[in-house]
Amino acid sequence: MNLSLLLFLIGILGFVLNRKNIILMIISIEIMLLAVTLLILISSYSFNDSVGQTFSVYIISIAGAESVIGLSILVAYYRLRGNISLRT
């Protein structure tokens, strides 16, 4: 559980400190989602429950869809502005 908490804090720190780069913000959100998934898997294993494993697969599929949508928005932003930096 400490590992998932550490990964979640790293994701929050990465999101807060890299507010200028869209790619690093997306990666930080993915790290936070994977930390929550790891916590659910650990809890599911300790309680001997298979519902947590099913729910973690659901979270991973939603995270993949979120990544695709985020990267497509990033491509559209790059085509509009010419760079991916949020600095104006």
Q: What percent of the chain has pLDDT over 70?
A: 99
Q: What percent of the chain has pLDDT over 90?
A: 60
The pLDDT tens digits of the residues spanning 13-52 come to 999 998 888 888 889 999 999 999 999 999 999 999 889 9
User: pTM of the entire structure?
Assistant: 0.83
Residue 56 has pLDDT above 70, yes or no: yes
3's tokens: 């590992």
Tell me the Ramachandran region of residue 85: left when phi exceeds 0, alpha when psi lies from -120 to 50, beta otherwise. Answer: beta
How far is 40 from 50, CA to CA, in rounded Å?
11
Residue 88 has pLDDT above 70, yes or no: no
Please name each of the domains of the chain with its CATH number: 2-81 (1.10.287.3510)
36's tokens: 């929550």
